[in-house]
């Protein structure tokens, strides 16, 4: 089970631009607090707005701009090979993201990898978004998998908290933009420095 942004795709540039446009449309002039926003990645956008004390009205222009700029999002090096290798080895894959489900599926479809995943779940499709365990539990239910045979790979402390609350293996991905010290302080069950290391963690051979 994968988080999306910062694990499968490098979308921070698009997020920054979308957030900047949304902030200036709704709030007005001034420096958009993207640095603070980025500390909450992994959470559902409305939850981040509540935490930051910003208007929920930012969501509409943020989503609009995210769709408009989606063609700029790229997968991290090694991720396409990783997905093919895991599927070839018989692993069943899902995405559990802080994004909305429709936006996540649209993005993965545009990148040509949506069919690699049996299920792609967004935070709008469960009662409680990360760090609650709902999205991980729902993905396991759809996959027919138990906690002892499931791992969640994320790049945010909220991903690890959600995984731990669901009783699954919590794996930190360090190749994105997140602060490694924050992830390591959360004491994940395993740490990956590049996507290919997940194959060895799953018991397969090395993948560069």
Which active-site residues does the annotation give? 3, 5
Task: Map tokens 């090979």 to a residue.
Answer: 81
Q: Could you give the CA distance from residue 44 to residue 31 in angstroms, rounded to a whole number?
A: 22
* 53 preceded by a cis bond (ω within 30 of 0): no
Q: Could you give the CA distance from residue 45 to residue 11 in angstroms, rounded to a whole number?
A: 15
Sheet containing 151-154: give its strands across: 151-154, 169-173, 190-192
Structural element, H or E, at residue 26: helix 12-26
Q: How far is CA 158 from CA 82, 87, 128, 147, in A?
A: 23, 26, 12, 18
Q: Could you give the CA distance from residue 48 to residue 1 in angstroms, rounded to a whole number?
A: 23
């Amino acid at each position: 089970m994968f988080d999306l942004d910062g694990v499968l795709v490098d979308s921070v540039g698009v997020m920054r631009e979308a957030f900047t446009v949304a902030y200036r449309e709704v709030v007005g002039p001034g420096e958009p607090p993207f640095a603070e926003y980025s500390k909450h990645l992994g959470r559902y956008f409305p939850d981040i707005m509540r935490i930051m004390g910003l208007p929920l009205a930012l969501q509409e222009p943020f989503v609009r701009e995210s769709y408009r700029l989606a063609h700029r999002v790229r997968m991290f090096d090694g991720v396409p090979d990783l997905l093919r290798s895991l599927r070839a080895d018989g692993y069943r894959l899902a995405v559990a993201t802080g994004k909305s489900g429709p936006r996540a599926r649209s993005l993965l479809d545009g990148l040509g990898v949506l069919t690699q995943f049996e299920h792609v779940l967004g935070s709008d499709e469960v009662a409680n978004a990360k760090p609650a365990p709902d999205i991980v539990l729902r993905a396991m239910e759809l996959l027919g998998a138990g906690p002892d045979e499931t791992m969640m790979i994320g790049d945010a402390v909220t991903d690890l908290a959600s995984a731990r609350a669901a009783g699954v293996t919590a794996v930190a991905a360090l190749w994105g933009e997140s602060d490694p010290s924050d992830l390591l302080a959360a004491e994940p069950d395993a740490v990956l420095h590049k996507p290919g290391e997940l194959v060895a963690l799953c018991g397969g051979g090395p993948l560069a």
